[in-house]
A and B are shown apart, each in its own frame.
Chain A
Amino acid sequence: MVSAIAILRMPGLFTAAMISGIYSLVAAVVFLVMDAVDVAFTEAAVGAGVATILMLATLAHTGVRRSQPVPFSWIGLLVVLVAGAALVFATFDMPAFGEPLAPIHMHVAPRYLLESMAEIGVPNAVTSVLASYRGYDTMGEVTVIFTAGVGVLALLGRGRRAPTEDVKDS
């Protein structure tokens, strides 16, 4: 939470990118505390590694060091307060944290946990769900990653014109 507010107030962009890396690391620790070991692994590697590197590379390309200070936005505050109030109102119907009888644990999850050893023989339930029970979704996800790679290739690949050429033309 502290890091989130720091990102908001910080005019230095380099610092903001670094703090977002810290935010990802703290989120990874939170995932670990909540028994999500695979997710913590991935979030630490991706958030604190790749995402931060890409942001720093963008800052190096565009050469901006500081952003303008954040103007106080009434519309922003209104949207945030209304949306936040609606969400808090919605949480009163949600099950308490960690409750074993919540609806999310009732339908498919026990079947996956119980049958995973018998049907697939893999101890890691997350891998068995990801690669076998929900393998089609994982294929779609790999396609999304591939498409993003192709998109960045198309945008930044070869034939980037020098900056300020276009601005002088118009």
Chain B
Amino acid sequence: MVEQIGVFNYWIVIALMMTGLYVVISCRNMVKKIIGLNLFQGSVFILYISMGKVEGGTAPILASDFTSYSNPLPHVLILTAIVVGVATTALGLALIVRIHDRYGTVEEDAIQNLDREV
């Protein structure tokens, strides 16, 4: 089954990525933009992990019964990226709370209108 997948898995990831990008570009609400950014991040993680998989391999925990392992390097990279991603999401959400305190709304065009009035 794995042989027939070819490069199809990358196309699924690209579809997810583009959905996330569309959410970030077109949604007016800031919280939804952050959720779209999370979507984008998740799809990038799936891309890297799918590149690291070796057909017939197993998880990269060395044991004497197995000879073929999946590549541990993407795992390390993505482990770091996940935790950093949640840290930046938290920072973005804190900024949204402050923006709401200042402007009273989290809709992007309402904030631009308020800025133009001042």
Direct contact of A and B (CB under 8 A): yes
Contact surface of A with B, Cβ cutoff 8 Å: 1, 4-5, 7-8, 13, 16-17, 20, 23-24, 27, 30-31, 34-39, 42-43, 46-47, 50-51, 54-55, 57-59, 61-62, 64, 67-68, 70-73, 75-77, 79-80, 83-84, 87-88, 91-92, 94, 96-100, 102, 104-105, 108-109, 112-113, 116-117, 123-126, 129-130, 134, 137-138, 141, 144-145, 148-149, 151-152, 155-156, 160-164, 166-167, 170
A70 to B84, CA, bound (A): 29
Q: A36-B49, A148-B90 are in contact. Are A130 and B76 (CB under 8 A)?
A: yes
Q: Are A59 and B35 in contact (CB under 8 A)?
A: no
Task: Name the residue on B nearest A61 (C-beta).
Answer: B97
Contact surface of B with A, Cβ cutoff 8 Å: 2-3, 5-12, 14-23, 25-29, 31-32, 34-36, 38-39, 42, 45-46, 49-63, 68-76, 78-80, 82-91, 93-98, 100-104, 106-107, 114, 118
A50 to B80, CA, bound (A): 16
Q: Are B78 and A148 in contact (CB under 8 A)?
A: no
Q: Are B79 and A71 in contact (CB under 8 A)?
A: no
Q: Are A125 and B60 in contact (CB under 8 A)?
A: yes
Q: Are A145 and B52 in contact (CB under 8 A)?
A: no
* Chain B CB within 10 Å, residue with most, of A58, A61, A77: A58
> Which residues from chain A contact B100 at a C-beta distance below 8 Å?
61-62, 64, 163
B93 to chain A, nearest CB (A): 4
Q: Are B49 and A123 in contact (CB under 8 A)?
A: no
Task: Name the residue on B nearest A34 (C-beta).
Answer: B53
- 28 A–B contacts, CB within 8 A, in A order: A1-B15, A20-B35, A23-B42, A27-B45, A36-B74, A36-B78, A62-B106, A64-B29, A64-B106, A70-B26, A76-B26, A88-B11, A96-B3, A96-B7, A97-B2, A98-B55, A98-B56, A104-B71, A124-B62, A126-B79, A134-B76, A138-B80, A145-B84, A155-B94, A155-B95, A155-B97, A161-B101, A163-B101
